[in-house]
Amino acid sequence: MSAALWLAFALIGALTYLTRVLPLLSRRRGSGAPPPAWLDALGPCILAAIAVAVLLPEARAALAADSWRPFALGSAAAAAVMLWRRDAGLATLAGVAAYWLAI
């Protein structure tokens, strides 16, 4: 591997480490201030952005290939189970099962 690739690995690793350790270090100092309210919404917002980035191209491809029914049923099943149980693993299994049955 080239030196540039190793440098990229090291930089990504360092940035990932810093994003995880800095909140812990700031709490340890005993500032006493509660974390900002937007911090509670950050995780779900990031997950929603990742879901859109993954699902939107798949939805467009399903519409273009006229195979939108399995995609829609799988997505609906996963969303319904997620609303019902709040279990990502079970929602994934339900989505895959509905997709498979629709094919």
Structure tokens, 89? 């693993």
- The C-alpha R_g of the chain, in whole angstroms, comes to 20
Q: What local confidence, expressed as pLDDT, does residue 84 receive?
A: 95
Indicate the pTM of the whole model: 0.56
pLDDT band at 26 (very low <50, low <70, confident <90, very high): low
Q: Which of 9-13, 41-45, 52-56, 59-63 is the least confident region? A: 41-45
> Domain limits of the chain?
1-31, 39-103
Q: What local confidence, expressed as pLDDT, does residue 102 receive?
A: 92
> Alpha-carbon distance 21 to 15, whole Å?
10
Q: Could you give the percent of the chain with pLDDT greater than 90?
A: 43
For residues 11, 13, 15 and 21, what is the CA-based torsion angle, rounded to 10 degrees?
A: -150
